[in-house]
Amino acid sequence: MTDLEIAKAATLKPISEIAKQAGLHEDQIEMYGNYKAKVNLKSQRNVDFGDHKLVLVTSINPTPAGEGKSTVLVGLGDAMNQLNKQTMIAMREPSMGPVMGIKGGATGGGYSQVIPMEDINLHFTGDIHALTSAHNTLMALVNNYLQHGNILNLDPRRIIWNRVVDVNDRTLRQVITGLGGITKGIPQESSFDITAASELMAILCLASDLSDLKSRISKIIVGYTYDKVPVSVGELGFEDAITILLKDAFKPNLVQTIAHTPTLIHGGPFANIAHGCNSVIATKTALQLSQYTVTEAGFGADLGAEKFLDIKRPVLGKTPDAVVIVATVRALKYNGGQSVKELTTENIEALTNGLPNLQRHIQNIQSYELPTVVAINRFTSDTDAELELVKEYCESQGVTAVVTESWGKGGNGTLDLAAEVIKLADSNFEFKQLYNDDDSIETKINKIVKNIYHGKSVTFSKKAQTQLKGFKKNGWENLPVCIAKTQYSFSDDASKLGAPTDFNVEIREFIPKMGAGFIVALAGNVMTMPGLPKKPAALNMKIDADGEITGLF
C-alpha cells in the first residue's frame, strides 16, 4: 500500500475530540473542516513549562536513500502515548510547490503518518498562502513607495526584498520587473523564492506572540538608501498591514496521527537560508498542553539541530531534554560509498565506512552535553549483521541505538525507542552553548565550522568582508548566524560524504534578516527556488467526479 492509501484507510477522529484529548477548551480552537483546527491560546509569553519534557528528533546527513526522520518522529509520538505518557507532536508544514514536482510529502509515512495528509500537503489551513500574499504585498508597498515620492531616498538598485510563490518555477529565479513605462513602476532586476524561504516564514516561526510578530516585521530590512543606510519596514509604516495578513496564519494548526496523537503542524522555514524548525508558538503550545513534546529540526543535525539549539532554543526558552538522531543502514552505506542501486545488498564494508558520519553527529550533540539516543529506522532489506554493527558502534560511542519499525508498525514499531527516550529525558544534564551571545559573527561562524562541521578553516570573500564592516556600523555584529550550505555533507561540497576533514568553508555573502534576528551566511550556492523535474509528479495525479484523489503520493 502507498502512503496515501494507508492514510485514506485510516479512521479519523473529529478534531474537536483530539483537541479535548489534548486539554484544549472549545473556545481555544477554530475548526477548519472536521479534521483540522487552529489553536488560539491567548497568552504565550513567559510560559512556565514546569517539568514538561521536550524531545528533539534530528538525523544524519540526508541522502537519496531516505532516512525517514518524520516517520520516526510520528511513530515516537504514538509510542509514547501507548506507554501512557501524554505526548504531542510539533512539526513543520510541508511546502506545496515540491508536491507537484517530486512524489513524497513530509508528514511521515506508512503507519506513522499525520492525517489528513492530502490537505496537509496541499493548501492545509492556508498559512503558506497567507505568507505568500503578505510577502508580495510588502514588495508592492515598497515599490509603490518608490513610485510615489520616495522621501527616504531608497535606492531602487539596493532593494533586498523580493517576491515569493509556493510553486517550483525556475523561470522566476531571475526576472526584470517594472518594464513598460512610468505607470508600470521602476525597472528592476529581481527574483522569486519559494515561500518557505521568505523571511516572513522565519519570523512566523520565531515570534513569541502577536506583538513580537509585529515588532519583528517592523525590523525587516527591505533595502538601502543611496547613502547605504538600511531601511526597515517600520520606517515605512507597513508593519501593521503585514501583521494583519498573518494574524490567522500565526495560530498553530492541530491535526492527528493515524493513532490519534494530537499533532501541531505550523510553519516550515527552509533549513538552509532559515532555521528549519516549526514555529516557537506551536512548540510552546505543545509544551504547555502535554507532558512530552516531540519535535524535529530540518535536514541533518549539522544544519537542523545546530540551528534548533543556537537559534530557536534561546527564543523558545526551553532546551531539549533528549535528542534522537535518526539513521538508516541504507543511508550509512550510501555515505560509505555504496551506490543507490546496491543499497538493498548487505555490505558491511560500506556500512563501516559510512559510520563516521553518524559518529560525528553523535559527538556534536554530545558537545552540547545533551542526552542522546540513535534510532535505526529499519528497512526490510537491512540484515541482522548490519543492524548489529550499527548498534555496537553506537555503544562504543557511549550512546544507545534502538531499532525502529515506524513505517510498517507505527507506534508498535517504535516502543523501544519511546522507552529509551522517556528514560533519557529524566537524566540530569547541563546544556553547554556552542557560542556566546556576544561573540562576533566571525567567531560564531568559526565555532560552527570547526566544532560542528569539523572543517579546518573559514575564509570570507571580499564581498563578505565588506558586508561585515557595514554590519558593525549598523550594530548587527553580535547576532546569531544562520549558515546556508548544502545539507548533503558536513562541508560546503555536496559530494564529500561521510565525515570529511581538512576542508575550508568560504562564506560568499551575508544576508541580514533583522526580523528573524539572524544573519544568513551563504556557503556555496543555495537554492531558494526549486525547479520541476522532467516528469513532474503533477502528471500522475488524478481526481474523479467525487473529488477522490489518487497518485498524489
Asked whether 302 and 61 are in contact (CB, 8 A), the reply is yes
State in angstroms the smallest separation of the CB of 82 from its own copies. 30
Of 52, 69, 85, 214, which lies in the binding site for its own copies, with binding defined by CB under 8 A?
A: 214
Q: Is 69 marked as a binding-site residue? A: yes
13 part of the interface to its own copies, by CB under 8 A: no
252, 328, 299, 316: which is closest to 89 by C-alpha?
252
Regarding 25 and contact with its own copies (CB under 8 A), the answer is no
Q: With CB under 8 A, what is the number of residues at the site for its own copies?
A: 77
Counting contacts by CB under 8 A, is residue 247 touching its own copies?
yes
Is residue 328 among the annotated active site residues?
no
With binding defined as CB under 8 A, does residue 524 bind its own copies? Answer: no
Helix (H) or strand (E) holding 17: helix 15-21
- Concatenating the DSSP letter of every residue in 373-388 gives EEEEE--TT--HHHHH
522 binds its own copies (CB under 8 A): no
The stretch near its own copies (CB under 8 A) out of 338-346, 376-384, 386-394, 537-545 is: 537-545
495 is in an annotated binding site: no
256 sits in which H/E element: strand 253-257
Count CB-CB contacts under 10 A for residue 340: 13
Task: Reply yes or no on whether 92 is catalytic.
Answer: yes
Residue whose CB is less far from its own copies, 240 or 426: 240
Residue 144 in the binding site for its own copies (CB under 8 A): yes
Active site residue 450: no
Catalytic-role residue among 8, 20, 103, 508: 103
Interactions with its own copies, residue window 391-450 (CB under 8 A) = none
Of 3 and 405, the one with the shorter C-beta distance to its own copies is: 3
DSSP string, 335-376: HTT--GGGTTS--HHHHHHHHHHHHHHHHHHHHTT--EEEEE
> At its nearest, how many Å lie between its own copies and the CB of residue 179?
4
Helix (H) / strand (E) element for 462: namely: helix 462-474
Q: Which stretch binds its own copies (CB under 8 A): 335-343, 344-352, 445-453, 544-552?
A: 544-552
Binders of its own copies in range 99-138 (CB under 8 A): 100, 122-123, 125-126, 129-130, 132-133, 136-137
Work out which of 152, 434, 494, 541 binds its own copies, going by CB under 8 A.
Answer: 541
For residues 30 and 506, which CB has a smaller minimum distance to its own copies in the complex?
Answer: 30
One symbol per residue from 57 to 96: x for binding its own copies (CB under 8 A), - otherwise; what is it? ---------------------------------------x
Half-sphere exposure of 503 (CA within 13 A, CB side): 21
- Give the number of other CB atoms < 10 A from CB of residue 344: 13
Interface with its own copies (CB under 8 A), residue from 111, 161, 224, 238: 238
In 150-279, which residue ranges form alpha helices assigned H by DSSP?
199-206, 210-219, 233-236, 239-246
Residues 149-208 that bind its own copies (CB under 8 A): 149, 163, 165-180, 183-186, 188
In whole angstroms, what is the distance from residue 101 CA to residue 189 CA?
27
- Does 496 participate in binding its own copies (rule CB under 8 A)? no
Active site residue 379: yes
Q: How far is the CB of 249 from its own copies (least distance, A)?
A: 8
For position 141 contacting its own copies by CB under 8 A, the verdict is yes
* Rounded Cα gap, residues 369 and 363, in angstroms: 9
Given a contact cutoff of 8 angstroms between Cβ atoms, the answer to whether 216 and 517 are in contact is yes
Asked if 429 contacts 369 with a C-beta cutoff of 8 angstroms, the reply is yes
- C-alpha dihedral, 305 to 80 to 108 to 245, nearest 10°: -70
216 is a catalytic site residue:
no
What value, to the nearest 5°, has the Cα angle with vertex 120 and ends 114 and 121? 110
The active-site residue, picked from 299, 308, 490, 510, is 299
Do 411 and 404 contact (CB within 8 A), yes or no? no
Of 53, 92, 312, 485, the active-site residue reads: 92
280/266 Cα distance (integer angstroms):
9
Q: Is there binding between residue 486 and its own copies (CB under 8 A)?
A: no
Determine which one of 379, 460, 476, 553 is catalytic. Answer: 379
38 belongs to the catalytic site: no
Quick one: which of 278, 315, 225 has its CA closest to 56? 278
Q: Which residues are the active-site residues?
A: 69, 71, 92, 103, 271, 299, 379, 407
State the binding site: 63-70
